[in-house]
Amino acid sequence: MGNARGRKRLWKPLKHRKLLSGTDTGKLSGRIIELITPYREGNPDRGEFERLISLASTAWNLSLFPLKARDETMMKVLKAVPDEDRQLIRGLLQELIVRKELLFPEDRRLVGSFDVIDEGENFRVIVAALS
């Protein structure tokens, strides 16, 4: 009897963790690429593509914050951006946050890191998710 109670206690955090991660099983890298689709113009070089992925990853993570903390964290992020680009980057982050919330509202995974691999004709994106 005590053993069953112990299993229930162990199971509770696992059920909660699954809810936090969402029920979506789509690859996070594919979702990040989908976020930037409207912003991919022409044939970006690797640096441009990495900057788009970086913005999308930042926006993805910001979307998981409560609104007040999101604004505060965004301001901290924007301090690293040159003054002349700050408004543009802020607007892009806000658009990407809205897009993430519309496309993947249940996906609560955090982007831990990413890598862009140049495969000649295209880029492959690898994203490590934190749960």
How far is Cα 79 from Cα 86, in angstroms, rounded to an integer? 8
DSSP assigned state of 64? T
Please give the mean pLDDT across all residues of the chain.
Answer: 84
Segment 89-93 long-range contacts (CB within 8 Å, at least 24 positions apart): 89/55, 92/39, 92/55, 92/59, 93/55, 93/58, 93/59, 93/62
Residue whose entry in the numeric block shows the structure tokens 């495969």: 119
pLDDT for res 106: 95
Strand, helix or coil at 43?
coil
pLDDT at 103: 97
Q: What is the pLDDT of residues 40-96, one digit of tens each?
A: 888 889 999 999 999 999 999 999 999 999 999 999 999 999 999 999 999 999 999
Beta carbons of 36 and 60 less than 8 angstroms apart: no
- Domain of residue 91: give its range: 2-130
HSE value, Cβ hemisphere, 13 Å, CA-based, for 96: 28
Count of domains for the chain: 1
Cα-flanking dihedrals φ and ψ of residue 70, to 5°?
Answer: -60, -50
